[in-house]
Amino acid sequence: MDSHDLHPSRRAVLSAAALSLAGSGFLGALAPPAAAQTAPAGPDTKAPHTKPQGTHAMLQGSYVTTKDGVQIHVKQWGPQSGQPVVFSHGWPLSADAFEDQMLFLAQRGYRAIAHDRRGHGRSSQPGFGNDMDHYADDLAAVTEALNLKGAVHVGHSTGGGEVARYIGRHGVSRVAKAVLIGAVTPIMVRTAWNPEGVPPEVFDGIRAGVRADRAQWFKDFAPVFYGYNRPGAKPSQGVMDSFWTQGMQGGLLAQYECVKAFSETDLREDLKKMIVPTLVLHGDDDQVVPLATTGKAAVALLPKGTLTIVPGAPHGLCATHKDVVNEALLAFLKA
């Protein structure tokens, strides 16, 4: 596997007081007392697979209806004849998180497609199925309903896990390439086989914060997501407001249960089945999904993986470093 930086220079050494998900910073401080820690760790964190479901999906207007009756909101930009580029968003956002990439590619002849994950954005909010297997099957329903062939699947954060599980469950017959951006693959939580992973109590803290005051928690989390808490950063209030709006559009139940999905799902075998060329794009200042235990670990499992590290980029690099991300995507699409 190849690994390279997009730029030769990187930021100066960051302050020791900077916030970090995996450390004792902002999110670590949200962890509940030891007695209240409930998130499982170790080998038991491997999520059981359910049998892939037949899709029989139907497209009606801007919605695809899945076999289990969930309506998935889909947006499509660009010529219908263009190569499909399908985007799977991160938590707790919606398809709108990829608008910068969709506009860029649609204007260059690609068919840009993004959907809201079940329970998020404008999609249905069922009381079930908030796990990677259902996310993957919903993505399969979208690809079937739109009859996509030769598609490039792009997943950010949780969406990267969704893309990996989609290929793991449904194969690559409709897939040409894949891109994992700041993805949660192969796993986030600390386990026996992933001893450097994020402590499980951090995810307990996320659930506690979302349950206690989701609206305020999203406001507090946005600066970390976009790296605006770093010295010298130039925060965009508009970007943070968009994060909050997208987050609040989703359902509390789905977002609460998604924490388990994005942190505990073991995606090692799925990565091994990604036999198409795959770009792993990750910022080296990602405070949410640590590069060392996700991006670097994922590319080691990919049969045809290439790691591109974006110097100084945070987790929300699709917004803060959109020009860099857009050009990297375009180059990969053309390669």
- Show which residues are catalytic: 157, 286, 315
Distances, alpha carbon 74 to alpha carbons 60, 142, 148, 180, in Å: 10, 8, 13, 20
Sign of the dihedral through C-alpha 240, 242, 245, 248: negative
Both tokens of 120, joined, read 């998020």
CB 297 within 8 A of CB 195: no
Distance CA 31, CA 252 (A): 19
**Cβ atoms within 10 Å of 73's Cβ, excluding its own:** 21
Q: 111 pairs with which residues across the strands? A: 84
For the purposes of burial, counting CB atoms within 10 Å of the CB of 296, is it exposed (0-12), middle (13-18) or buried (19 or more)? middle
The vertex-107 CA angle with 278 and 94, nearest 5°, equals: 60
Overall size of the chain counted in residues: 335
Q: Which residues contact 16 (CB under 8 A, 6 or more apart)?
A: none
3-state DSSP call for residue 77? Answer: strand
**Cβ atoms within 10 Å of 24's Cβ, excluding its own:** 10
Please tell me what DSSP assigns to residue 88. Answer: E
Both tokens of 139, joined, read 């993505």
For residue 275, give the nearest of 156, 184, 190, 175 by alpha carbon.
Answer: 175
Please tell me what DSSP assigns to residue 199. Answer: -
CB 42 within 8 A of CB 35: no
Distance CA 183, CA 209 (A): 22
